[in-house]
Amino acid sequence: MVFLNPDTFAGKTVLITGGMGFIGSNLAIRLANLGAQVTIVDSMIPDYGGNEFNLHPVRDRVKINYCDIRDVSAVNYLVRDQNFVFHLAGQVCHLMSLSNPFPDIEINITGTAVVMEALRKYNKDAVVVYTGTRGQYGPSVSLPVNEEAPTNPKGIYEISNLTAEKIIKVYNDVHGIRSVLLRLSNIYGPRSQMMHSRFGVCNWFVRVAMDNQQIQVFGDGSILRDFLYVDDCVDAILKTSICDKAYGEVFNVGNDVAVSFLDLVKTIISVAGQGSWKFAEFSPERKAQEPGDFISDIGKISRCAGWRPKVGLEEGLALTLDYYRQQKQHYWSS
């Protein structure tokens, strides 16, 4: 069991790649509030998930480097003297990866190699946490899916995440750089991009409901997923980062409570008190990449680091709606 004491991260140096994005900014805020010295690396590529406003609550307490993780000299410099490197930067749009695979290959694979090589050369003592995706498994062979399940990803984004994970594992095993390899399910909550529907499905449904529009439920809406509130995801990242037994290990980070898309949409509309829904056909691209039902088996992370989700779906959606109702002007357009 790992306990996150209030002083665990006090005075620690941490580098967060992708720290202006959804999960990275929530992590940065938590760490800054725990007294860590936080440095952010983010390239703010248009249409990706970075948003200046995300770091508003801690803007005077974090250092921000607007640079690309593929910039070898910059990354070589930035990793020095960091106690922790949380590697969250990435091209995250699985739909885009089908029509243009190169950002995934260049950012998610080459960028990861740049970060790990910098650590090998300049800071082998840092602990690394990498956030991959449940999509690395591809279609589920049985449910819930545990970490021993086969990995047959259905898209380039998912392949790039699996490759990045394997690269980091080599640096853990061969070069002794302690690394935790997480596979995240569907994360939702404050600070996600809300401008388009290409990634972040639950957050996008929240926007459509808030705009009092009709949410499109693809197919018959029966596909199962597990949705995890972002604060719980941040807890999982922090708890595994300080857990000796977690180094070199792969963990699912999700929710063992599964929900169909139709039930998710009905819950969002009920919590929001507005919006409506209708069935819609899958687009050919979405259909081709849809892996079907997925439920995370979170037994391994629970046994190793004592982590479990704390926030239920209705509570998480209410918190998400509250945030965007207050801060809508910073998220509805660029």
Ligand X SMILES: NC(=O)c1ccc[n+]([C@@H]2O[C@H](COP(=O)([O-])OP(=O)(O)OC[C@H]3O[C@@H](n4cnc5c(N)ncnc54)[C@H](O)[C@@H]3O)[C@@H](O)[C@H]2O)c1
If one asks whether residue 21 binds ligand X (CB under 6 A), the answer comes out as: yes
If one asks whether residue 24 binds ligand X (CB under 6 A), the answer comes out as: yes
**How far apart, in whole angstroms, are the C-alpha atoms of residue 296 and residue 299?**
9
**Longest Cα pair distance anywhere in the chain, in angstroms?**
54
User: Strand 84-87 vs strand 13-17: parallel, antiparallel, or unpaired?
Assistant: parallel
If one asks whether residue 187 binds ligand X (CB under 6 A), the answer comes out as: yes
Q: Closer CB to ligand X, residue 246 or residue 253? A: 253
If one asks whether residue 156 binds ligand X (CB under 6 A), the answer comes out as: no
If one asks whether residue 145 binds ligand X (CB under 6 A), the answer comes out as: no
C-beta of residue 117 within 8 angstroms of C-beta of residue 274? no
Q: What minimum distance in Å lies between the beta carbon of 80 and ligand X?
A: 18
If one asks whether residue 254 binds ligand X (CB under 6 A), the answer comes out as: no
**How far apart, in whole angstroms, are the C-alpha atoms of residue 257 and residue 227?**
8
If one asks whether residue 155 binds ligand X (CB under 6 A), the answer comes out as: no
Out of 131, 179, 241, 255, name the contact with ligand X by CB under 6 A: 131
Out of 34, 42, 264, 309, name the contact with ligand X by CB under 6 A: 42
Out of 14, 16, 23, 206, name the contact with ligand X by CB under 6 A: 23
Q: What minimum distance in Å lies between the beta carbon of 28 and ligand X?
A: 11
Q: Closer CB to ligand X, residue 50 or residue 275? A: 50
Q: Closer CB to ligand X, residue 90 or residue 316? A: 90
**How far apart, in whole angstroms, are the C-alpha atoms of residue 87 and residue 84?**
9
Cα-Cα-Cα-Cα torsion 167, 168, 174, 180, nearest 10 degrees, comes to -150
Q: Closer CB to ligand X, residue 37 or residue 255? A: 255
If one asks whether residue 153 binds ligand X (CB under 6 A), the answer comes out as: no
Q: Closer CB to ligand X, residue 91 or residue 123? A: 91
Q: What minimum distance in Å lies between the beta carbon of 325 and ligand X?
A: 20
Exposure string for 181-198, b = 16+ CB within 10 A, e = fewer: bbbbbbbbbbbbbbeeee
**How far apart, in whole angstroms, are the C-alpha atoms of residue 69 and residue 89?**
8
Q: Is the dihedral of CA 99, 16, 26, 298 positive or negative?
A: positive
Q: What minimum distance in Å lies between the beta carbon of 240 and ligand X?
A: 14
If one asks whether residue 235 binds ligand X (CB under 6 A), the answer comes out as: no
CA 90 to each of CA 49, 79, 294, 334: distance values in angstroms, whole numbers, following the listed order: 9, 17, 22, 19
Applying the rule CB under 6 A, the residues between 102 and 121 that interact with ligand X are 107, 111
Out of 70, 166, 175, 330, name the contact with ligand X by CB under 6 A: 70
What is the total count of residues that contact ligand X (CB under 6 A)?
Answer: 33
Q: Closer CB to ligand X, residue 3 or residue 99? A: 99
Read off φ and ψ for residue 243, nearest 5 degrees. Answer: -110, 105
**How far apart, in whole angstroms, are the C-alpha atoms of residue 111 and residue 192?**
22
Q: Closer CB to ligand X, residue 274 or residue 291? A: 291
Q: Closer CB to ligand X, residue 190 or residue 275? A: 190
Interior CA angle at 155 toward 333 and 302, to 5°? 85
Q: Which two tokens mark 55?
A: 């770091």
If one asks whether residue 48 binds ligand X (CB under 6 A), the answer comes out as: yes
**How far apart, in whole angstroms, are the C-alpha atoms of residue 43 and residue 45?**
6
Q: Which residues bind ligand X (CB under 6 A)?
A: 17-18, 20-24, 41-45, 48-50, 68-70, 88-92, 107, 111, 131, 133, 161, 184, 186-187, 193, 200
